[in-house]
């Protein structure tokens, strides 16, 4: 989500500042504000978006992945079967569905390898 939010703020120093404020806690008021910015200006409702065939929202999946990652990295816990595949599938959804939608909404488009372009052609 950080690259998407970064792209919505045109002033580089402000973008870095805002991205640095992204909350870790689930019910942080700043998270609600950032989600609303993505919804209004990026055309993506992160709090409601679900991958095809999934019961959980993408944000719930991201939170689960983050929690699992933290246990593996900081507590030397063993990863559960399927967690890596889930992380890859979620990353694909962000890069293939959410990111292009936000880019398009801001008047840009992508080329191969997610190269962002603002030229009209």
**Least confident window among 3-17, 28-42, 89-103:** 3-17
pLDDT digits (tens, 9 = 90+) for 36-77: 888 998 899 988 999 999 999 999 999 899 899 989 999 999
Q: How many domains does the chain have?
A: 1
Find the domain containing 95 and state its range: 2-117
For the question of whether the overall pTM of this predicted structure is more than 0.85, the answer is no
The residue ranges of DSSP E strands in the chain, in sequence order, are 109-111, 115-117
Collapsing DSSP to helix, strand or coil, 109 comes out as strand
Which residue would you say has higher pLDDT here, 69 or 27? 69
pLDDT at 12: 64
Q: Are the beta carbons of 51 and 88 closer than 8 angstroms?
A: no
pLDDT more than 70, % of the chain: 78
């Amino acid at each position: 989500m950080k690259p998407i939010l970064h792209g919505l703020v045109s002033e580089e120093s402000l973008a870095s500042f805002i991205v640095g404020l992204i909350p870790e806690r689930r019910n942080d008021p700043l998270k609600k504000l950032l989600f609303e910015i993505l919804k209004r200006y990026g055309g993506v409702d992160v709090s409601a978006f679900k991958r095809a065939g999934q019961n959980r929202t993408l944000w719930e999946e991201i939170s689960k992945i983050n929690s699992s990652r933290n246990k593996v990295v900081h507590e030397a816990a063993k990863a559960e079967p399927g967690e890596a595949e889930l992380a890859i599938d979620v990353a694909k959804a962000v890069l293939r569905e959410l990111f292009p939608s936000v880019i398009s909404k801001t008047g840009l488009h992508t080329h191969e390898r997610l190269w962002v372009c603002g030229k009209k052609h």
